[in-house]
Each structure stands twice: as structure tokens, then as C-alpha cells.
Structure 1
Amino acid sequence: MKSSAGQWILRVTLPVDPVYKTASEVATLKLVASYTSLPVPPVAAYWDGTDSDSSADKSLGLEWIIMGKLPGITLSDAWTDIDLDMKIGIVESIADKLHELYECKEARFSALGNIYGKQELQKPSLSEAPYSIGRIVSMAFFWDQRLQQPVNRGPFSSSAEWLTSRLQLVEQECNDILESDQTDSDDKKDAEYFKSTVQRLTKQMKFFCQPLEENIFVLHHDDLNSHNILIDPVSGALTGILDWECVSAVPIWKSCQLPHFLANEWTRDVKPALGEYQEADGSVSSLYPEHLKEWEVTVLAEYFLKRMESKNSDWINVYRSSERIRDFDFAIKNCDNLFMASKIVKWLDVLENNEPYKRLV
């Protein structure tokens, strides 16, 4: 879609969380554009599914947003064509922007949830601020049939309230499986296992949340992967940060962490030597680019943390002091994941036996 002002993108969304998802995404984009220098798409028009006098708003039958198309290519597409020095510059630019958002007073709130403009809240607000916190919009709260589950969806006044609701959603799913006559025995066995894990995590809540209880929640982009970052492939300039749907105001311990594209599961401290990846036929093993990227991400993560450490704020101290609560958050996120369940259970065994603490991630 083109206009005299440039190119525009029409984003259409399924009603995974009707009204709230689109309304909060629009408010988030407008807040970030208004109060920070983060390069985000401008919103030209939208329809969030609410009543409208315009037939054009409803003509698609789905919620939509028209937003400006930003220049550049994704970091994912550029990765293999740019050198490490350029990547370091990009990572430091991203750190600067994320720290700006972290420090932005207009992006700080006294409750946890998603932000909405006053017109989207559809109710009177005593606050003079143009944006307020409302119910959360998160995949953890609308995935599969979770939108129908009767749990607290915020705004939340504490980490414990938010984490408890997430555990309750998993437990209710397990109960539905166990009570169904159409579920096979293997699924019921898994549900019993997951439910037990949820109950064990619930008992640990007080040991993780009390020391870190907070009244400050900050807007945080929790899916900043290499597909959501736009750069100029020639200069390395940061040109866009995309995908602000389901972005919430979260506790500061949740905000002070590595962005998704630097949170590599596998660290590699030594640069792989190309000569060690030669195949018999003279070709290079497919493992080489994979291991090279692991090493680069390990290096880049250190540059990101050093950049944050250079800031005159509490960001790096919060990051270093919140390892345990991040582990707990990870356990809740993956407690119904068959691939992670046994690792989480072993971690819980250590906690319950009062053994020396071991990191989960």
C-alpha cells in the first residue's frame, strides 16, 4: 500500500483477544513514538472491533491497523552479510534504545498489564495521563482455550498475582484434560505430571516473590528477536523495532534481561576455526555457521551488558540480582512443556531439599 507520504502496511488480526489486543498495540505504539526516540511504525488508522459508525471500519470483518512501513532489512536477513564490528554497533544502539524505554517516566506504571489510551479503556479515568494500565494481553492468557478461563487478567499489583494467574491457567487446562472422557491415557498422564509441577511451583511462590516485591512496572518488548529489528545494511544504523503486539508493562526484574536475539541457549567462548569444519570433499560443515553464530551471540551479549552497565541507572544491578526470579518465571512458562518438564522437576527437587541453589537457565 502506497501513499504520498510513503508506504503503508495493513495488518489484519484474528480475534485471539478481541478489542484488547489491537487497542493495546495501538496505544503502545503511540506512547513509544510520543515519548521516546525508538524507531517504531507510525499508526495511521485502526479498527479494534468496537462499535463504529463507519462501514469501512467493519468491512474486513477482522480487526486491523494501518501503519507506516519503516526502511531497512531485518537483522536476521542481514546477519551473514555484516561483520562483527557492525553487529556490535547495532547491539549497542539497541541497548541505548531499550535503556531509554526503561528510564522513560511515561512508560512506567504502578500496575502490571497492558496500556490503553483513555478512549480504548471505555470507562472514566481519574488519571491525568493519556495512557493507563488495563487487563493483560499475552499469549499465556489467550492461547488455545485460555481466553475462556475465569482467572484474574489484571491489572496486577504484584509479580505474585501475575505469576499465580499463569499457574492457574495451566492447572485449569490440566483439570479439563483429566475430566474429559475423550482424552487418551497418555494425555491424562502428562496432565497429572504437569498439574503436580504447577502445585509444587505454587508452593515456592513466596520464596521468590517476597524479596523482590515492587510497585514499579515498565513497558518491555519481550520478543525482540532478529526478525523484529530493522537495520540499514550499509551503515548498520538501527531503522526499526517491530512487533509491539502483546507488549506489557512488567516488573523491572522482567525488563532487565537480555533481548531475545541475544539470549542464546548455547554459549561459545572460543571462535570456531574454519579449518576444523572441513568435510572430506572439501566443503564446509553446516555446523560451522551455526557455531560461529553461537560465538558471535555470546560476544554480543557481553557488549550489550557492558553498554547497560555504562548507564547511570539501576538496570545492571537489577539484572544481576534477579537471576532466581527469572528462573522461576522460566519454570512457570515451561511447566507444561514435555521437553522441559523433567529439568524443572529436578530443579524443584533441589529447592525442596534445601540444597545449594542451581540455575535453571
Structure 2
Amino acid sequence: MSPLEMKLEFPAATAPPPPDLSRPDSLFDAAATIAMQVFPDMTLTKITSFDSGVYNQLFELDLASSGGRSGERPILRVATVKKATSDISLESEVATMAYIKLYTTIPVPDVYAYCPNAKNPLGAPFVIISRMVGQALDVAWPQLSYDARVRVIQEYARVTSKLLQCQFPLIGSLHFGTDDSPIVLGDVSLRKMCADIRAEYEDYASWKGPWQDAAQWLKASLEDELQFMTKDSLKCQSWNDQVLVLDIDTIWPIAQRIIPELLNKWTPLVASDKWSKGPFYLGHADLSFANVMVDKDGSITGVVDWEMSSTMPLWNVVCCPPWAEDIELCDSFTFQIVYLDELGRLGLSDDIIDVARHDGWRRDYADG
């Protein structure tokens, strides 16, 4: 299915009120209208809350065929009011998954349809995707055998090796282009760009990239935070109360002192290696326990939530996953060795494996 066929547009000129995502039954009529357009031979019979986060709410759609037989059970992901009425990160995510399906064998959801703005029956940006088989790793891990856990680490290394086959000259995010270039590299796509609180700042768009090296990328991100902090502390307090639930009076003076130091001292150090100049590689941005699906044997059956993905320096993609480093100390050392050995078995060069072994601190700095 082409991007034009996946993207839905609705005739309404204005968006309806934001949905009450805490009441799935209140979404039924709107979801049924959309399902009728996406699955013309199926009927929505039930909508069930599946999972939730700060930025998105997930629902499972029970669909039945015209004969009453149960059929597809796709996932409807709806943006929460923490985002603005236009969700650029969603459109970039769909483009990224299309690219991954085209150029790798990494298992990602099928996209049935999406709408990147709120002008639809739901009153919020949404995407309908296939449900991946298996369990999220955060649920499955405690029940996995030791051998299955080792297999998870090995499979993660294989996912990494496939991402390293996707090389780019700049740091940015993937977007849909034209027929001649259906997927192109452009502005970086982050959730915070979709926040209503930032939408009113006209100069906010000045740092979106793409960038030629990691120093420009890190510097732009920190400068954006400084700009945002100095705009309106009350608005920052409001955003903080909704999203972070931290004491702004405590963190505000610390942030004002630390961010300039990070900008002027640490960023040049982090980006001083040769890999910070490129090439750059497609990265997930949040390969956490919750976004990796596995079966009972430890095989990875899906990688989900590609929102905010972008091209990144080598050290932001190849290093051992943070969750493997947070496991009990003895297992952590073992799993890191398993991961590095698997990268070698897959044919990655000694230079790249050396980055995976030693440069996790650069990755942690960029992620922080």
C-alpha cells in the first residue's frame, strides 16, 4: 500500500473536540466510522483500551467479517492532548517503518491507515497498525529461561546489524517525499515539536536540522532547551506538571546552571571522535524493554514505537542496549559479552565493535 493510500483525509474543515481517551466506549462511533473506511468488508464490534502513555493511548479493535466471523484485531493508537493538533512525528514514524520494511528484515507493524492531524472523527492524530505477535520484553523477561534471554541479546545484535546497513550522510528523520524519491531525509522529528506549549514560538523551528555532524546536532538540541527555558517559566511549569511531575523550583536553577556547561564543555568532547562526522545510521531512539516483542524462546518478533526515530552517529546505534546494562550485575557483564561476540559473528569490523564496547557514555549523553 502506498503512503497516499495509507493516509486518510476527512471532509470536515475543523477538528472535533479532543476525545476522552479514558472511556473507550465514547470512541466507538468515531472508531467505527474510520474502521469502515479502512476495512470496508469488516465491522467494528468492540474497542478495548490496550495500553497508555504520556503521548499516546492504544486501543484494540475487534473486527468481524460480514458473516459475523471474528477477523482482524488491529491496534488504534491515538495521540493525547499533550500533543498539538498536528503530529509530524507520526508521519515520520510511518515513513520510517515503510523504509525498514523496504530495506531490512526487521519485523515492524503493518500500517493500515493514519491521519497526522486532528481533522477526523476522533479529533486527534491516529494510526492503525497490525498487532505484533509475542509479548513485550518487559512482560516476558521474568518468565524467560537463561538460554532464551541470551537469544534475546543475540537477536538484538542482529537488529543492530540491520540498522547499520541503513547509512545516511546527515542527521535527520525520514519523511515521505515524491514519486521519484518516495522516502527522503529531512527535519528531525521529536515529540516535543508536537507539543502545544512550543507551537506558539515562531523561532522554534530554527534547529530542526538536518545536521552534518554530531556536534551540530547536540548543540542545536541544548540551545533549543535554553531558548525554551528562557521564554516563559510559567509555561514550563505547566508543561512540567502535566508530563514530568517534578518540582520546577528545584530543577530550574540546576538546569540553568548545567545546560550551558553541557553545551560549552561536554558537547565538544562527546562529538570529538571520527564517527561523529558520519556516516550516520538509522536509529530507533527508544529500544526499551517495552518496545521489543519476543516469543517464549527469546526470538524477537517485533520492534514497535518508531516515533522520534532518526539517523544517528554510530555510537548512538551500536552500543549494548541500556536495559541489558541495568540487569543484575553478573548477568549484565555476561550479556554485554554475548552482544559483542554476536556483533563479531555477524561480520562487523573491529573498529565498530570497539565503539560498541567503549562508547556507551557518548550514547548516554546524547540520550540524556
Closer/same/farther in 2, CA of residues 211 and 94 from structure 1, 3 Å limit? closer
Q: Which moved more, 1:22-31 or 1:91-100?
A: 91-100
TM superposition score normalised by structure 1: 0.69
User: 1:327: how far off?
Assistant: 5.5
Asked if the contact 2:92–2:175 (Cα under 8 Å) also holds between the matched residues in 1, the reply is yes
Asked if the contact 1:170–1:195 (Cα under 8 Å) also holds between the matched residues in 2, the reply is no
Closer/same/farther in 2, CA of residues 49 and 76 from structure 1, 3 Å limit? same
Is 1:14 matched up with 2:14? no
Is 1:308 matched up with 2:328? no
Asked if the contact 1:14–1:62 (Cα under 8 Å) also holds between the matched residues in 2, the reply is yes
Cα distance in 1 between the residues matched to 2:336 and 2:285: 16
Over residues 163-204 of structure 1, what are the superposed CA-to-partner deviations in whole Å (9 max), with x where a residue is unaligned?
112211222244246799x99xx9567434322222222222
Matches within 5 A, 1:1-361: 1=61, 2=63, 6-14=72-80, 16=83, 18-49=86-117, 58-103=120-165, 107-118=166-177, 128-139=180-191, 145-149=197-201, 150=204, 151-176=206-231, 187=248, 190-204=251-265, 205-212=267-274, 213-233=276-296, 235-264=297-326, 268-269=329-330, 296-314=331-349, 315-320=352-357, 322-323=359-360, 325-326=362-363, 328-329=365-366, 333=368
Q: Which moved more, 1:220-229 or 1:145-154?
A: 145-154
Q: Which moved more, 1:193-202 or 1:63-72?
A: 193-202
Cα distance in 2 between the residues matched to 1:202 and 1:14: 32
User: 1:43: how far off?
Assistant: 0.7
> Which residue of structure 2 aligns with residue 286 of structure 1?
none
Supply the AA of the counterpart residue of 2:135. Answer: I
> Which residue of structure 1 aligns with residue 55 of structure 2?
none
Over residues 72-121 of structure 1, what are the superposed CA-to-partner deviations in whole Å (9 max), with x where a residue is unaligned?
12222222222101111122112112211212xxx3222111101115xx
Cα distance in 1 between the residues matched to 2:233 and 2:128: 44
Supply the AA of the counterpart residue of 1:319. Answer: A
Q: Which has the larger radius of gyration?
A: 1
User: Can you give the 5+ residue segments of structure 1 that lack an aligned partner in the other structure?
Assistant: 51-56, 120-124, 270-295, 334-361
Cα distance in 2 between the residues matched to 1:318 and 1:135: 27
Cα distance in 2 between the residues matched to 1:219 and 1:12: 25
Supply the AA of the counterpart residue of 1:133. Answer: L
Asked if the contact 2:340–2:357 (Cα under 8 Å) also holds between the matched residues in 1, the reply is no
User: 1:250: how far off?
Assistant: 1.1
Where 2:185 maps in the other structure, the secondary structure is strand
Over residues 288-308 of structure 1, what are the superposed CA-to-partner deviations in whole Å (9 max), with x where a residue is unaligned?
xxxxxxxx3442232112211
Where 1:133 maps in the other structure, the secondary structure is strand
Equivalent pairs counted in the alignment come to 284
Cα distance in 2 between the residues matched to 1:142 and 1:13: 10
User: 1:41: how far off?
Assistant: 0.5
Asked if the contact 2:89–2:191 (Cα under 8 Å) also holds between the matched residues in 1, the reply is no
Supply the AA of the counterpart residue of 1:162. Answer: W
Supply the AA of the counterpart residue of 1:306. Answer: D
Asked if the contact 1:177–1:187 (Cα under 8 Å) also holds between the matched residues in 2, the reply is no
Supply the AA of the counterpart residue of 2:124. Answer: L
Supply the AA of the counterpart residue of 1:322. Answer: D
Cα distance in 2 between the residues matched to 1:13 and 1:325: 31
Cα distance in 2 between the residues matched to 1:210 and 1:76: 35
Asked if the contact 1:24–1:245 (Cα under 8 Å) also holds between the matched residues in 2, the reply is yes
Closer/same/farther in 2, CA of residues 137 and 92 from structure 1, 3 Å limit? same
Supply the AA of the counterpart residue of 1:257. Answer: C
TM superposition score normalised by structure 2: 0.68
User: Can you give the 5+ residue segments of structure 2 that lack an aligned partner in the other structure?
Assistant: 1-60, 66-70, 239-246
